[in-house]
Amino acid sequence: MLRCTLALLLCSLGLSTATYPASASEMPKDFAYLRDIDPTIQQDMRYAGADNFTGAPVPGYDAPECVLLRQVAEALKAVQADLKAKGFGLLVYDCYRPTTAVAAFVAWAKLPDDSQAKATWYPNLNKSDLFPDYIATRSGHSRGATLDLTIEPLEASSEAQAGAEAKPRACTAPQEGHAPDGSLAMGTSFDCFDVKANTAASGLTEEERNNRAMLVEAMQARGFKNYPMEWWHFTWQPEPYPATFFDFPIVPRR
């Protein structure tokens, strides 16, 4: 039902962006699947499934695959190698994002509030506060050099894996040692609409601050810049396509 409603809203809102080109439906040759560059980097592509703030798979994500500009994926491979030497690895949540998906987020932000979504993803905000401060009509993800990710132990303990809860919980809930998905405790879960998600947020534990610092330092060493409002959000510098917004769908690898 949500997917149908989103589709109707996309049409009624008439949302559009400058794309390359607007009719392009195939991945350009300078993009690549991260799995083809470094299959050791773990992927939990949230928008290809229902485990995200919209509660449903997002239009444009037809496969749970991380797609990036090839040189960005190569830089991420270097980050993975650096962390592996310390006993850690990367866990990626989102990479290239079609402009169709961005428009779907805007449409979702205009739907009536949902109490369960609020309790999980924005417990301290009203839904009306999310647009345009948290959800914008354009996203740097659509340029192919931005991604969302975290760090996990190379061998996640069974206790950490068992920590994943079947029922939703607030994204700001305490994380004891690990996040529910087994990644390192960062103070909030991915896509948490809250000031606690700011990279230098106050009120974090020493462990959470150290984990965030490790992620930022590892990414900076290979040319990625953190977005200070979201600890998980990084962009490779300089961006190859700083003014281009792509809209090809993410499809299964061949």
Q: Is residue 230 annotated as a catalytic residue, yes or no?
A: yes
Helices 2-13 and 99-109 pack at an angle, to 10 degrees, of 100
Q: In angstroms, rounded to a whole number, what is the distance separating the alpha carbons of residues 122 and 194?
A: 6
| Active-site position among 26, 74, 230, 239 | 230
Q: In angstroms, rounded to a whole number, what is the distance separating the alpha carbons of residues 236 and 243?
A: 14
Nearest partner of 135 among 156, 159, 157, 108, judged by Cα? 108
Structure tokens at 78: 């270097």
Using CA atoms, how far residue 225 sits from 146, 160, 173, 204, in Å, is 9, 29, 27, 21
Q: What is the DSSP letter of 202?
A: S
Nearest 5°: CA angle at 99, between 227 and 139? 15
Cβ neighbours around 38 below 10 Å, total: 18
The CA R_g of the chain, rounded to the nearest whole Å, is 17
Per the listing, tokens 């990644």 go with 183
Phi-psi region at 19: left, alpha or beta (left = phi > 0; alpha = psi -120 to 50) = beta
Three-state DSSP class for 8? helix
Pairing status of strand 88-94 against strand 42-43: parallel
At residue 116, what is the residue type?
Answer: Q
Just list the catalytic residues. Answer: 230
